[in-house]
Structure 1
Amino acid sequence: MNDTATPAAPATFNHLVVLANPAPDGFDHSIVAAYAQEVERHHQAVQVRDLYALGFDPVLRASERPTVPDWSPAPDITAELDYLRHCDILVFVYPIWFGLPPAMLKGYVERVLGAGYSFRDLQASVGQPSVAGKPLLSFSTSGTSLPWLDEQGQVLSLKDIFDVYLWRGLGMSQADHVRIDCVVPDMSSAYAGEQLERVRQAAEKACAQLASGRYHERAEAALQRRRTSLGHD
């Protein structure tokens, strides 16, 4: 009989990728594929939620407002919350339309990330249990150039009203954003390849920070800052 204990298998980190683009052959799908391949190459797990392919309903009903007595999530939201609870990093992939993410993704934020989370919770940054302490990584695409978007004030505005707002309001650990511009039907294969390499590098970095505990350290620091701001020890 061999008394030597079998070493425990290394923990698997889970990446939840939420895609919001209705075009099945769009570049955003290539981004998701590149990200997933790199994550799996690092022996971590990835779950993709393609909101349009799933037929996700983005419309928030009055009965879903967290101020409703005896509130409980709708069945479809219960499933999405389960994916969130079991992930270690949340990844958004979406195009920029009229300066903002698609309404589909905004609906996901309202119905899923906002499930049971009131404006008072958001204002106090108490932390949405399903994502508190977890990092947010976003990949956005645009047909116009980044300099042009910056001239319109779109880059800074989107960062403030979406990335930073969600990161702080939901009690997440940080928010990073990879912007890919000039995504058009006739873009060169060389340019597309360069951008997908950026995606793979971002995925590699995310995997490394999860494995090293760096994200966890930032989450603990963020939690301590929230406790201090709220007057807790």
Structure 2
Amino acid sequence: MKHLILFAHPNPKSFNTAILKTTVKVLEGKGHQVTVRNLYEMHFDPVLKGTDFEVFHSGKKPPDVEQEHDLIAAADGITMIYPIWWSGMPALLKGYIDRVFSYGFAYRYNDEGVPVGMLSGKKGLIINTLGSTTEYYDSIGMTEAVKKTTDTSIFGFCGMEPVGHLFFGAVPAVDDATRQGMQKTLTEKLDGLF
């Protein structure tokens, strides 16, 4: 299986980086091919410009977007790893989605104006860290809101099968033993999914 990981955290010493390393290790250990797109290291340009629309409408693609399209097209599974900031994803990842999960590649509309996902056959997994506890996020309805805006409104909208969404809460406050437990949960989830 070919996996594409979209990683969005600016700190190479973050727990998100530890999650990334574990994810790569588990998947490669199972014989899967893994490609990581570290959006901060890549200095990916997240700004959707008017010129991007002009290029798309001409039937072409900006070169940086075309490279990402090739990687997505080749992937069987797409995993996003990022922290939840202000109840959403980092702006860099949102900009990546704006530019790369584009009309005519990730989705289109049929003659009745109904969206049609074009990335069917791919599995999608999301792994998030939170500053708050998961219990707090659950109690205010934010867990379900985040799932709606990502699992349903990105993966599902584009025709992908959302296969899981992991939330690791209170990451800045927990101790190393708790983080190790989170890594164990991650490993077990990856083993079960892939």
Report the TM-score, using the length of structure 2 for normalisation: 0.90
Please identify which structure carries the higher strand content: 2
* Count of matched residue pairs: 192
Q: Is the 2:107–2:158 Cα contact (8 Å) retained in structure 1?
A: no
- CA deviations 1:21-53 (Å, max 9, x no partner) are 111111001001001111111111111110001
**Which stretch shifts more, 51-60 or 108-117?**
108-117
- CA deviations 1:75-117 (Å, max 9, x no partner) are 0111111111111100000000010111111111111112535
- Sort the Cα spacing of 1:74 and 1:94 in 2 relative to 1 into closer, same or farther, 3 A: same
Aligned to 1:225: none
**Which stretch shifts more, 29-38 or 174-183?**
174-183
**Amino acid in the other structure paired with 1:87:** A
- Sort the Cα spacing of 1:125 and 1:168 in 2 relative to 1 into closer, same or farther, 3 A: farther
Identity score, percent: 28
Report the TM-score, using the length of structure 1 for normalisation: 0.76
Is residue 2:90 matched to residue 1:102? Answer: yes
Please point out which of 135, 138, 162 is paired with 1:150. Answer: 138
Q: How far did residue 206 of structure 1 move?
A: 2.6
Aligned to 2:117: 127
Q: Kindly name which structure, 1 or 2, has the bigger radius of gyration based on alpha carbons.
A: 1
Aligned to 1:201: 188
**Amino acid in the other structure paired with 2:167:** R
**Amino acid in the other structure paired with 2:184:** E
Q: Is the 2:107–2:116 Cα contact (8 Å) retained in structure 1?
A: no
For residues 40 and 84 of structure 1, what CA distance do their matches in structure 2 show? 18
**Amino acid in the other structure paired with 1:189:** D
CA RMSD, Structure 1 to Structure 2 (Å) = 2.1
Q: How far did residue 124 of structure 1 move?
A: 2.6
For residues 16 and 68 of structure 1, what CA distance do their matches in structure 2 show? 23
Is residue 2:174 matched to residue 1:179? Answer: no
Q: Which structure 1 segments of 5+ residues have no match?
A: 1-12, 208-233
**Amino acid in the other structure paired with 2:116:** V
